[in-house]
Amino acid sequence: MKKFGKKIVCGTLMAALALGALTGCSDKKVDGTQTVATVDQTEITMGTASFLARYQQASTEAMYQQMMGSLSGQSMDIWDGETENGKTYGEEAKDNIMTLLNQLLVMEKHAPDYGITVTDEEKEAISAAAEGFMSANSQEVIEKIGVSQSDIERLLELQTIQSKMYGPMTADVDTNVPDEEANQSVITLVRVSTVGTEKDEDGNTIELTDEEKAQKKELAQQVLDKVKAAGAEGDMDALAKEVDEDLSSTKRTYTTASAREDGNIDTEILDAVEGLTDGQVYDGVVELEDGYAVVRMDKVLDEEATESQRNSIISSRKQDLYNETLDQWTEEFPIQVEDSVWKQLTITDDVSFLMVTNTGTTAE
């Protein structure tokens, strides 16, 4: 459930390089020097975890503010709502922070296996970014987050390693994609619906009569005649609107070999285009469960779409391997959270952290 209302906002985090500015308020100060979590004897301070949490909170609130930009002067309350597992969204966000820290730390642990390091040049940039953040923000804001320059540097080093790990971790992915998985066909079709648009007094849809359905089929036939006369390059959308301005065309791209199993395109349409060549129009009105269709085979093999599909499959394989590897690593070295320390930080609708840019806040 989304609620709207004014939030209390206090404190500002100013932007510095990749870092951004926040505003947020809470009377409670966080002790950032305490150890909040450990992964295989590597400790993370509360300051680092708190900074990551508040920064992600601010990013999320900025996104929602952008989405709800039309509601000027109002902010969307999102953190106090309850998820399906019974936790609030704020509590779930805290869990996600610890999951992310677990992943960052195990990637740091395995970085030497891939020859990944943080260069001196990168360390200098990280130090400058952290120093800029600290000097641009008030002591009040820094104390609310409980963050130090070294906490920020630590997080940025971990994120730098993370940014370098994806390629090496996924280098062994099989990039051979069989044609039957990659080949894409493209069709253009015009549908004429026979679904009723009126309802009876009980709210049930009134079905079209046989005569009305026959009229719909005649519309489809008129479209077909125009499309056949226009040839392969005919603008099916414009031709359909010449018959009825409410009609329109749709271009559909599908995996040639698995279209029937995918179920995204009517079987009747696939039957109609089977055997057609590029630019060929099916010589008849296709009868569907809910109407009629006119269909043209634009390209039996669309090379551009096929290459895009091939790359998409490879990308999915890489992402799957990346996720599986991270799961294995985090299972081997799970994060141990100090709940008594982590409970210092809460993410609720009462405490708002907003992103601030050089031109001002992204949200009111």
For residues 352 and 272, membership in a common domain is answered with no
Q: For the chain, how many structural domains are there in total? A: 2
For residues 82 and 166, membership in a common domain is answered with yes
Q: What string of pLDDT tens digits covers the 364 residues of the chain? A: 333 333 333 333 333 333 444 555 555 788 999 999 999 999 999 999 999 999 888 888 878 877 776 444 455 678 999 999 999 999 999 999 999 999 999 999 999 999 999 999 999 999 998 998 888 788 888 888 999 999 999 999 999 999 999 999 999 999 999 999 999 999 999 999 999 887 777 778 888 899 999 999 999 999 999 999 998 889 999 999 999 999 999 999 999 999 999 999 999 999 999 999 999 999 999 999 999 999 999 999 999 999 999 999 999 999 999 999 999 999 999 999 999 999 999 998 887 776 665 544 443 3
Cβ atoms within 10 Å, residue 323: 11
Domain membership of residue 249 (yes or no) is yes
For residues 82 and 190, membership in a common domain is answered with no
Domain that holds residue 14: 3-173+317-361
For residues 261 and 343, membership in a common domain is answered with no
For residues 88 and 211, membership in a common domain is answered with no
β-bridge mates for residue 251, sequence order: 188
Q: What is the CATH number of the domain that holds 252?
A: 3.10.50
**347 Ramachandran zone, left/alpha/beta (phi>0; psi -120 to 50):** beta
For residues 149 and 195, membership in a common domain is answered with no
pLDDT at position 21: 45
Length of the chain: 364
For residues 36 and 169, membership in a common domain is answered with yes
Which among 300, 334, 350 is the end of a domain? 300
For residues 285 and 241, membership in a common domain is answered with yes
Domain membership of residue 115 (yes or no) is yes
pLDDT at position 362: 45
Domain membership of residue 292 (yes or no) is yes
pLDDT at position 27: 54
- pTM (global) more than 0.85: no
Burial class (CB in 10 A: 0-12, 13-18, 19+), 268: middle
For residues 289 and 323, membership in a common domain is answered with no
**Do the Cβ atoms of 42 and 162 come closer than 8 Å?**
no
For residues 222 and 81, membership in a common domain is answered with no
Domain membership of residue 197 (yes or no) is yes
For residues 126 and 232, membership in a common domain is answered with no
For residues 151 and 241, membership in a common domain is answered with no
